[in-house]
Structure 1
Amino acid sequence: MNRKPILIHASVWIVYLLLNNLLLFNWNLQRLFIVQMPFTYGLVAILFYTNVYAIINPCVQRKQYARLLLYTVLLVGSYVAIRLWLFDIVLPGLGIRTIYSETFIVYNRFIPDSLWLALQYILLSYGYWFAMYSIRLEREKRLNEQRIAALEVEKARSELAFLRAQLNPHFLYNTLNFFFSDALMVSPRLADSIMALSQMLRSVSEVGYQSLVAVGQELNYIRCYLKIQQYRFGDQLHVQFQVTGQEYEQHLTIPPLILISLVENIFKYGDVFDAATPARITVDLTDDQIRFSTMNSKKDVPNYMQGGLGLANIDKQLNLTFGNRYSFEKQEINNIFSTSLHISVTNL
């Protein structure tokens, strides 16, 4: 628990009480105020924080402004009733003299005093909430600006790396089309693999300058990748790939090469030849949600050493793009490794 805000609030209340009670009244009245101070200001403190955190915050977040007004009125009424019970019954019963002990006139003095105190701290609580809300908005704005700046830097680095590694795409595609045409007459299976590879390379070249791509483009890349692996290993390969909500594939967007990196992680570290525990890739799409999960049995050593994005880099890219609108979890239980990615694209 963070004690710093509590200490700050307590210090501010103490200083305020000293200034408000010890400096503004004469000594004869000070003794009465000092006696009843813990009760008076303990009650207004409860009023203050109840209004801020139990009424203003939830009502404003839900845009329930009529309810906000109603609850504020009820809170003031409750405060007056509790204060009346405290000063008229509890404190006199304990033998504690108050400023109302001599002339306790409910309508002429106590009610106006109570309403003035209540309205004073109600207004203070609204001012406090507005100040804290403004500070929070400013912090979120700065965090968003920092995240966008970091994303721009990351994008620039990616573009530079892409330019350094890029071959002439037209030459590459023409060469693959030539291989495809010749292979088609010899082996349709080989031709289909070449076409899948060509589509994968085209996808990579197209996303070189894009920060976001359609989910469908990423899934087509995965389909081509799995097709090549299926041709490569035949019936030995046991990988299940399931997609629901295909109608949203072109509507939703994500950073490029995120999903394929999770699939490549299966082939790098997982046992994709285990018929008893096949690797699973599951995609569930809705109009504003992306859920992508993988599960595979894990091998003791990697199948190959070629590097990819890595799970840490995937998490970094997702954080730069989606902030708190995503969750990425990974776990290993009984040698079964799984990942779960959930992205909310609302208000992107």
Structure 2
Amino acid sequence: MESSKKTRTLFRLIIYHLLAWSIYITIGLSRKFLKSDYTFDLLDFVFTEIPVVYIFYGNYYVLKKFLSTKRYILLIAAEIFLYFSAAGLYWACGTLIRPYEPPGTIPPYIFSELIVDLLWIFLIYEFFSFGYYFAMESVSKEKRLRAMELEKARIEADRLKSEYAFLRAQINPHFLHNTLNLFYAKSLPVSEELSEGILTLCEIMRYSMHTGEQDVDTVLLSREIEHVQNVIKINQLRFSNRLQVVFDISGDINEIRIIPLVIITLVENAFKHGELNNDQHPLVMQLKVSEEDGTIYFSTHNRKKTGPKELSNGIGMDNIRRRLEATYKNNYSLTTTEEADNYTASLWITVS
């Protein structure tokens, strides 16, 4: 889609250039035809226009290459080269067509004189090329500003949606915590398993609502893993401990910080779409922390559910990709591999 759009844009640009040159040449020929002694020579016309086109586009390339990057010494050197090479091109074109023209029509070119004679022509088409370059730069800058404004508007819309979602989620969290604590206290004499489940749910809700530790955008990795273990625990209670889950942790997780609710999103995705009742194909989660290079590796590998699938809009994965990109830039990698029966998600983060 993007490639097709670029091709159409390039095609339109070529058409515009051909049209502009056609108008320019037509005006130039019209002035010459008004002279009674002018005789049109196609071969002479074509070969004398080639150096002009070379000067125009050559100068545009030089400006694009060196002026936009503020390499002024290279710009001057390139302009000097362009001037002498244009003179050489004029001399070569004249030499090539002279044998095919009537004697005396095209006088022999003397290169030293040609260099001086070319200066005015060179300056004229340099001026045209300068104008075209700055016009294109202005259009490009306008497009970039428009794209930035659209991106800013999209970010603002996303922010407002997030704020609205946050407000909806903040239906008196203290009331919910107090109510769960009440249920926990009431359930203690009734069922230890029930009270433990309520306490675990309370911890899950507390972490989800207060993940910004002291207004910081990151949490200790150990807190995030504790949250993951609570989610596993509550799901085991839901399914009478029938879920087959293997969670292997290696490395020190107590000193490293990470943006919250990223790892848990991958875990919840595996719980939602994975077949976790088969002891031959358990959900396997691995967390490896390397203190030497400050990298975190986390992966989930699960058997895919058979039968009806739960609907998924992919918002969770898109969200964590945006958050990872905003925080870690090029220092992360999130890949997913989907096979006929299995699904794997792998996350690499360099935090130092």
Aligned residue identity for 1:76: E
Q: 1:79 aligns with which of 71, 77, 82?
A: 82
> 1:89: which partner in 2?
92
> 2:305: which partner in 1?
299
Identify if the C-alpha distance between structure 1 residues 258 and 126 changes in structure 2 by more than 3 Å, giving closer, same or farther. Answer: same
Matches within 5 A, 1:109-188: 109-110=117-118, 112-113=119-120, 116=123, 119-120=126-127, 123-124=130-131, 126-128=133-135, 130-159=137-166, 161-163=168-170, 168-175=175-182, 178=185, 182=188
Matches within 5 A, 1:204-243: 204-206=208-210, 214=218, 216=220, 218-229=224-235, 237-242=244-249
2:275 is paired with a residue whose SS is coil
Counterpart Cα distance in 2 of 1:342 and 1:264: 18
Whether the aligned pair in 2 keeps the contact of 1:21 and 1:30 (CA below 8 Å) is no
Aligned residue identity for 1:225: V
1:17 aligns with 2:21: yes
State which structure, 1 or 2, has the greater radius of gyration over its C-alpha atoms: 2
Identify if the C-alpha distance between structure 1 residues 331 and 207 changes in structure 2 by more than 3 Å, giving closer, same or farther. Answer: same
Unaligned ranges ≥5, structure 2: 33-37
Counterpart Cα distance in 2 of 1:275 and 1:315: 27
1:23 is paired with a residue whose SS is helix
Counterpart Cα distance in 1 of 2:296 and 2:136: 35
Offset from partner CA, 1:49-70 (integer Å, 9 cap, x none): 4642x5566xx4xxxx4xx224
Aligned residues: 322
Q: 2:271 aligns with which of 246, 267, 271?
A: 267
Counterpart Cα distance in 1 of 2:147 and 2:288: 30
Unaligned ranges ≥5, structure 1: none
Identify if the C-alpha distance between structure 1 residues 12 and 92 changes in structure 2 by more than 3 Å, giving closer, same or farther. Answer: same
Whether the aligned pair in 2 keeps the contact of 1:297 and 1:335 (CA below 8 Å) is yes
Q: TM-score, normalised by structure 1?
A: 0.68
Deviation of 1:48 after TM superposition, in Å, equals 1.9
Q: 1:6 aligns with which of 2, 7, 10?
A: 10
Deviation of 1:147 after TM superposition, in Å, equals 1.6
> 2:35: which partner in 1?
none
Deviation of 1:138 after TM superposition, in Å, equals 1.0
> 1:313: which partner in 2?
315
Range that drifts further, 269-278 or 211-220: 211-220
Offset from partner CA, 1:301-340 (integer Å, 9 cap, x none): 369x6x7xx3522245457767896986544224111235
2:302 is paired with a residue whose SS is strand
Deviation of 1:151 after TM superposition, in Å, equals 0.8
Whether the aligned pair in 2 keeps the contact of 1:293 and 1:340 (CA below 8 Å) is yes
Counterpart Cα distance in 1 of 2:216 and 2:314: 19
| Structure with more contact order per residue of length (Cα contacts < 8 Å, sep ≥ 6) | 1
Q: 2:52 aligns with which of 40, 54, 57?
A: 40
Identify if the C-alpha distance between structure 1 residues 114 and 176 changes in structure 2 by more than 3 Å, giving closer, same or farther. Answer: farther
Counterpart Cα distance in 2 of 1:285 and 1:146: 38
Identify if the C-alpha distance between structure 1 residues 91 and 331 changes in structure 2 by more than 3 Å, giving closer, same or farther. Answer: farther
Offset from partner CA, 1:264-319 (integer Å, 9 cap, x none): 2212321335555443345678999987543212121369x6x7xx3522245457
1:168 is paired with a residue whose SS is helix
Matches within 5 A, 1:64-75: 65=70, 68-75=71-78
Identify if the C-alpha distance between structure 1 residues 206 and 226 changes in structure 2 by more than 3 Å, giving closer, same or farther. Answer: same
Deviation of 1:4 after TM superposition, in Å, equals 2.9
Deviation of 1:23 after TM superposition, in Å, equals 2.9
Deviation of 1:229 after TM superposition, in Å, equals 4.4
1:106 aligns with 2:91: no
Identify if the C-alpha distance between structure 1 residues 140 and 229 changes in structure 2 by more than 3 Å, giving closer, same or farther. Answer: same
Whether the aligned pair in 2 keeps the contact of 1:48 and 1:121 (CA below 8 Å) is no
Whether the aligned pair in 1 keeps the contact of 2:185 and 2:195 (CA below 8 Å) is no
